[in-house]
Amino acid sequence: MAQTEQKVFKVGVVGYGLSAKIFQIPFITATPSFKLHSILQRNPKPESSAPNDYPNLQHFQSMEPFLADPALDVVVLSTTPDSHFPLAQQALNAGKHVFIEKPLVPTSAEASELDRLAKEKGLLICVYQNRRWDSDFRTVQKLIADGTLGRVYEVETHFQRYRPVQRANMLSMSQGGSALYDLGSHLVDQVYVLFGMPNSVSAKLYCQREGRVLSPKDQTVEPDGANLQLAYDSGLVVGVRIGSMSVETRQPRFWVRGTKGSYHKDGLDPQEDQLKAGMKISDGQFGRDSEEWHGRLVTLGEDGKVSDKAFPNVEPVTYTKIYELFGEALRGNGPVPVPVSEARDVLRILEGARESSLTLRTVNLS
């Protein structure tokens, strides 16, 4: 069960790739409720060696001795999505709480099983949907919550880039990979946080690099692009757009339209690029957009005049927040910030999108 005392939880990380190095370990070490305790790296190499980088930690090359460590409290899975289900099962059966990279698992059925097992064992699982703490997304949240835009009736959310060569190790959709699961899990999760479960999804999944569409005539497409339309009872329509061949100097991110105004934002949240460039999370500029990337807010005044102005993001809280909130949940001070039930719903939407493209029909989710 979640513990009420102000315990510091010892954390072990499984995997030592880019995600572990820049998205997990810096935030674990900055969170007061966590202490980095161990790392499991199956094959350390001279150019990438957890034992060399962290000589004072416990180091392992297989799951059994790693999980047998009685001091270990929390397992962070920073591995490929196709490995998440069996590894999470092992960790839960060993009595460890689990923090899992997105997408949680390849299927909603597996998510339900992990949820059942965690509840049976009295343990907590948190899913690393870090982009809930993107500052542009939090800005959209605030504008909607404040009523600045009025009743929102249409949203576009984008993840566009120009990458004409496919990554060699990209997983298939069945493994929890492709643009649909890799990037779609971020975008659809944000839509879910804003508006809840849609009634239906209609989708086209593309391989933009090859000019192919997932359809009854071509069922082997692994998408590098996607166009989803999520529909709600209120009349709200949300377009989720993913692209790999977008040639732009300013890639679109958000376009939110309501009865009283609209908000437009280009460019991705800077945290990922800042981390890759070596910026420390303690840096005062971490998570902050430069002025040239401020969004635009257009509003209709009571006098009927339209105002158009630059609109900077809200004050960043950064990806540290998900770790802080999970630590507090483990201490019994609040809910898990991204529970399995929400990640399962997101997977249901992604599965519906895949079905829609394959069958050429709208898929009912309600």
Contact 254, 136 (CB under 8 A): yes
What would the pLDDT profile of 222-264 be if each residue is shown by its tens digit?
A: 999 999 999 999 999 999 999 999 999 999 999 999 999 999 9
Residue 360 has pLDDT above 80, yes or no: yes
Residue 2 placed within a domain: no
Residue 167 has pLDDT above 90, yes or no: no
CB within 8 Å of 249: residues ≥ 6 apart: none
* The two structure tokens encoding residue 271: 């945290």
What would the pLDDT profile of 190-209 be if each residue is shown by its tens digit?
A: 999 999 999 999 999 999 99
Number of domains in the chain: 2
Q: What is the pLDDT of residue 4?
A: 55
Share of the chain above pLDDT 90, in %: 96
How much is the average pLDDT of 347-364? 98
The pair phi, psi for residue 118, each rounded to 5°, is -60, -40
List the CATH number of the domain containing 166. 3.30.360.10
Are 196 and 104 part of one and the same domain? no
Share of the chain above pLDDT 70, in %: 99
Residue 58 placed within a domain: yes
Contact 176, 82 (CB under 8 A): yes
Are 107 and 180 part of one and the same domain? no
Q: Is the model's pTM score more than 0.85?
A: yes
Residue 36 has pLDDT above 90, yes or no: yes
List the CATH number of the domain containing 50. 3.40.50.720
Q: What is the pLDDT of residue 14?
A: 98
Residue 214 placed within a domain: yes
Q: How many CA atoms lie within 13 A of 84 on its CB side?
A: 29
Are 104 and 142 part of one and the same domain? no
Contact 101, 36 (CB under 8 A): no
Question: Per DSSP, what are the bridge partners of residue 158?
Answer: 241
Are 66 and 84 part of one and the same domain? yes
Residue 220 has pLDDT above 80, yes or no: yes
Containing structural domain, residue 90: 9-130+321-335
Residue 46 placed within a domain: yes
Q: What is the pLDDT of residue 2?
A: 47
Are 51 and 167 part of one and the same domain? no
Are 125 and 143 part of one and the same domain? no
Lowest mean pLDDT of 48-57, 166-175, 258-267, name the range: 166-175
DSSP state of 291: G
Q: Give 1's pLDDT tier (boundaries 50, 70, 90).
A: very low
Rg (CA), the chain: 21
User: Rounded to whole angstroms, how far apart are CA atoms 129 and 347?
Assistant: 13
